[in-house]
Amino acid sequence: MTGIEAIPKISELLHLLIQRAKDRQTAALVQQIQQHQLVIHAALVEAEAKIRDLERRLDEEKAEEIRIHRMIEFRRGKRTAAKWVAFCPKCHLPAAPLSDEVFGKTFGAICSGKCGWKVLLPKQLKEVREELGN
Ligand SMILES: [Zn+2]
């Protein structure tokens, strides 16, 4: 049960307490508690609406188009300046081209996070990226 779900139940219980109160002073005290509870409920509802709005805006900011091409995860969106960028399909960190100096004439891509993922390619990573078009 969330806080927002609990408050209406508290309100019901306070209403029962008001009905069962044996004197006016006790009923007045319970009514004061009920009024404070209504203020808390309104604040929680407002805070939850703000959180939902922030989550929606964050999802919009993070929205990316994703394609798997030649075993590489390519993404484009706001954080890639709307350009296709290679990512590791295993851990989703950016992928880097394999260096010719280390691997001779072998082309490929490797995880920048060093998770162990790498793939060999028939051509350079930038040429593979160009196969995706715009
Ligand atoms: Zn990785």
Residues sharing a CB contact under 8 Å with residue 7, sequence separation 6 or more, in sequence order:
37, 40, 41, 44
What local confidence, expressed as pLDDT, does residue 72 receive? 97
Q: What is the pLDDT of residue 61?
A: 87
DSSP output for 45-63: HHHHHHHHHHHHHHHHHH-
**Ligand 1 centroid from CA 55, angstroms:** 26
Cα–ligand 1 centroid distance for 57 (angstroms)? 27
CA of 71 to the centre of ligand 1 (A): 12
What is the torsion angle, in degrees rounded to the nearest 10, for the CA atoms of residue 49, residue 55, residue 59 and residue 60? Answer: 50
Distance 109 CA to ligand 1 centre (A): 11
Distance 62 CA to ligand 1 centre (A): 19
Domain ranges of the chain: 3-61, 64-130
pLDDT at 100: 62
Buried b (16+ CB within 10 A) or exposed e, 106-117: ebbbbbebeeeb
pLDDT given for residue 89 in this prediction: 97
| Nearest to 94, CA basis, from 106, 80, 108 | 80
Per-residue pLDDT of the chain (134 residues; tens, 9 = 90+): 888 888 889 989 988 988 888 899 998 998 999 999 999 999 999 999 999 999 999 998 889 999 999 999 999 999 999 999 999 999 999 999 987 655 567 789 999 999 999 999 989 999 999 999 87
Dihedral sign (CA 77, 81, 82, 86):
negative
Separation of 8 CA from ligand 1 center, angstroms? 47
Which protein residues have their CB within 5 A of the ion that is ligand 1? 88, 90-91, 111, 113, 115, 117
pLDDT for the residue 2 = 82
